[in-house]
Chains A and B, each alone.
Chain A
Amino acid sequence: DSGVTQTPKHLITATGQRVTLRCSPRSGDLSVYWYQQSLDQGLQFLIQYYNGEERAKGNILERFSAQQFPDLHSELNLSSLELGDSALYFCASSATSRTPGGYTFGSGTRLTVV
């Protein structure tokens, strides 16, 4: 157990639907990062939050949004889902917005859009 908890582990949903992925960072970590991993795209950075504020944005679609709550857990919302959104979604956390010690990754949420 890495200390980063992601729920659910698996999600199967239909095109056009909306889902919410949840991440609880490791205790004491203030920064949360979301990544998408699909077979043909590798690991793509989506977005970073630090202590409730958005810090960096990557290749995140407009249909996707995220937030970090006061208790530091984060949610990634995916809407108007398409088949191509099927992927593993990882959350990672680190102590600060700089990551000298590296990220701690959760085990991921596998999203299948049918």
Chain B
Amino acid sequence: SQQGEEDPQALSIQEGENATMNCSYKTSINNLQWYRQNSGRGLVHLILIRSNEREKHSGRLRVTLDTSKKSSSLLITASRAADTASYFCATDVTSGTYKYIFGTGTRLKVLA
């Protein structure tokens, strides 16, 4: 079963609008990461947020983490057509195995 699940499964917005994606997970984590995947390509690491952090920024990306709710959100501001991709959250499980479990992804489409 998936550790993380993204919501919504798909999102379609106009260029210039903001896009918000959410990730919920089940067990305690050390950190959470967000990745982008263009169609059929490898995943690209976007940002990592540690369990003791609440918010992190990187360019047009803003990630929040609420460990009490076991959830995270990724906000892309002023979206561009090039942001069209699938976005995944990945959580490490604190069992000492140091592996990341990926969510099911949000497919974002930015219309020009």
Seen from chain A, the residues whose Cβ lies within 8 Å of a Cβ on chain B are: 2, 4, 33, 35, 42-43, 45, 48, 55-56, 58, 88, 90, 92, 97-108, 110
Q: Which residue of A lies closest to B96 (CB)?
A: A56
Q: List the A side residues contacting B71 at CB < 8 Å.
A: none
Q: Does B48 contact A (CB under 8 A)?
A: yes
* CB proximity of A109 to chain B, nearest CB, Å: 11
**Are A45 and B100 touching (Cβ within 8 A)?**
yes
Q: Does B10 contact A (CB under 8 A)?
A: no
Q: Which residue of A lies closest to B45 (CB)?
A: A102
Given A42-B2, A42-B105, A43-B88, A107:B41 Cβ within 8 A: yes
Selected from A43, A99, A101, A105, the residue in CB contact (under 8 A) with B44 is: A105
A55 to B93, CA, bound (A): 14
Selected from A55, A100, A105, A108, the residue in CB contact (under 8 A) with B31 is: A100
A92 to B42, CA, bound (A): 9
A48 to B91, CA, bound (A): 15
* Central interface residue in A43, A58, A99, by most chain B CB within 10 Å: A43
26 A–B pairs (Cβ distance < 8 Å), ordered by A: A2-B44, A4-B42, A33-B99, A35-B102, A42-B105, A43-B88, A43-B102, A43-B105, A45-B100, A48-B99, A55-B97, A55-B98, A56-B98, A56-B99, A58-B99, A98-B98, A99-B100, A102-B33, A102-B45, A103-B33, A103-B45, A103-B100, A105-B42, A105-B44, A107-B42, A108-B41
Q: Which 9 A-B pairs have the closest CB atoms?
A: A102-B45, A105-B42, A56-B97, A43-B102, A56-B99, A42-B104, A105-B43, A107-B42, A97-B98
Q: List the A side residues contacting B92 at CB < 8 Å.
A: 99
Known: A43-B105, A100-B31. 17 other contacts (CB 8 A): A2-B42, A4-B42, A42-B103, A42-B105, A45-B99, A48-B97, A56-B97, A56-B98, A58-B99, A58-B101, A88-B40, A99-B92, A101-B45, A103-B90, A105-B35, A105-B42, A105-B45
Q: Which residue of B lies closest to A108 (CB)?
A: B42
A43 to B31, CA, bound (A): 18
